[in-house]
Structure 1
Amino acid sequence: MTLEARTKPANDLRADTVGIMAVVVGPSGAGKDTLMNLAARHFAGRPDVHFVRRVITRAGDPGNEDHKSVSDADFDAMERAGAFAVSWEAHGLKYGIPADVMDELARGNLVIANGSRSVLHRFQAVFPRLKIINITARRDVLAERLTARGRESREDVMKRLERSSLTVEGSYDVADIDNSGTLEDAERAIIAVLEALIGM
């Protein structure tokens, strides 16, 4: 897989980011998008909690994530104009975290973004106060969920999962949430982690 990550130059970023950036990551099938949607519903109406709407070069929304869909050309133009705090490429798509999250952080707010384990070092370079929320599940649970999507055989899914890591590598502040059990348990867990970050 080819993956490229970019950030704005450090001197272009706001230095007064007193809020916390929480980046939610996890393997396919772990339920990351579902849990983020549930958390967003829980915190709806809270001015001190901001869920990031990513910019993605993906038409429509085939999954659970509410995002802004743009063309490759528009994404590149936005990037040149400094519209992103962090941007990266993965699996043939481009992803951007809008630069206006810096305003939310400057107000001392909690900002939550859907991220990727492969580019966490880029988030760390931009956001001085960073929390990683790693959504995981047992490999057999992931295999069952991924096989149910019908895109791969269970054998292919298991081979891919055996090669992958479910942990976050590097020196980050990480909260692991196991979503192998009930969705309600995982929902309570992610809400508890986010509640603890508010006002820190």
Structure 2
Amino acid sequence: MSPDADRKPTNEGVSDATAGIMAVVVGPSGAGKDTLMNLAARYFAGRPDVHFVRRVITRDGDAGNEDHRSVSEADFEAMKKAGSFAVSWEAHGLKYGIPADAADELARGNLVIANGSRSALHHFQTAFPRLKVINITARREVLAERLMARGRESREDVLKRLDRSALTVQGSYDVTDIDNSGTLEKAEQAIISALETLIGK
């Protein structure tokens, strides 16, 4: 299935914090989005004007390659009802939330970076009018090789998934595409450069 299939995003409310910029990083499975975000977070560590969002997810804390807050479905729904999320969505049996306090960082004029979903971008744009999209991608043959290396799907299933998945962002967004088909170092420099251009804007 497409990494964005079955996603059911919901917008929790509009932020009036327009001093800073929300950068949402998206991309298909196998593109290396989480790895690049982790490298960027390490590079900007200690910068008071750069804030990486710690998502709330209904999965084990040790699962995946992302530092996140793990909660039960019941706790997630309680947080959602309490207005704790700026944006939330569902994907493949999991629920994801962007904490509402991201607006506090934006109000201070900071750059806020979140791990997002292409299908939820219109909800991000409503919640955060000053939105920048960073789309991490790679050539189809590279994505196929990486996905097959995980050993979770057959080659046929991987190719079918890629055939159904668009590698570009659809819609009228301010998008920077980063091709992670080559060396990790080159893609790391690209995402760091893209984020640095947003600081203080």
Q: Same fold (TM over 0.5)?
A: yes
Deviations 1:17-68 (A, max 9, x none): 2100000000000000000000000000000000000000001232210000
Pairing 1:89–2:90 present: yes
- C-alpha separation between the residues in 2 aligned to 1:133 and 1:58? 25
5+ residue gaps in structure 2? Answer: none
Offset at 1:2?
3.0
Corresponding residue for residue 104 of structure 1: 105
Residue 6 of structure 2 contacts residue 91 of structure 2 at CA under 8 Å; is this kept in 1? yes
Corresponding residue for residue 135 of structure 1: 136
Percent identical residues:
78
Corresponding residue for residue 31 of structure 1: 32
Which letter maps to 1:190? I
- C-alpha separation between the residues in 2 aligned to 1:20 and 1:62? 29
Offset at 1:9?
3.4
Deviations 1:116-172 (A, max 9, x none): 001100001110100000000000000000000000011210111012100000000
- C-alpha separation between the residues in 2 aligned to 1:172 and 1:54? 22
1:35-74 matched pairs, under 5 angstroms: 35-74=36-75
Which letter maps to 1:146? L
- C-alpha separation between the residues in 2 aligned to 1:83 and 1:60? 19
- C-alpha separation between the residues in 2 aligned to 1:111 and 1:9? 17
Deviations 1:59-98 (A, max 9, x none): 1232210000000000000000010000111111100000
Paired residue secondary structure (1:152): coil
Corresponding residue for residue 11 of structure 2: 7
5+ residue gaps in structure 1? Answer: none
Which letter maps to 1:57? T
Which letter maps to 1:143? A
- C-alpha separation between the residues in 1 aligned to 2:106 and 2:61? 29
Runs of 4+ in structure 1 deviating by more than 6 angstroms, as ranges, are none
Offset at 1:6?
1.2
Q: TM-score, normalised on structure 2?
A: 0.96
- C-alpha separation between the residues in 2 aligned to 1:95 and 1:16? 22
Counting matched residue pairs gives 197
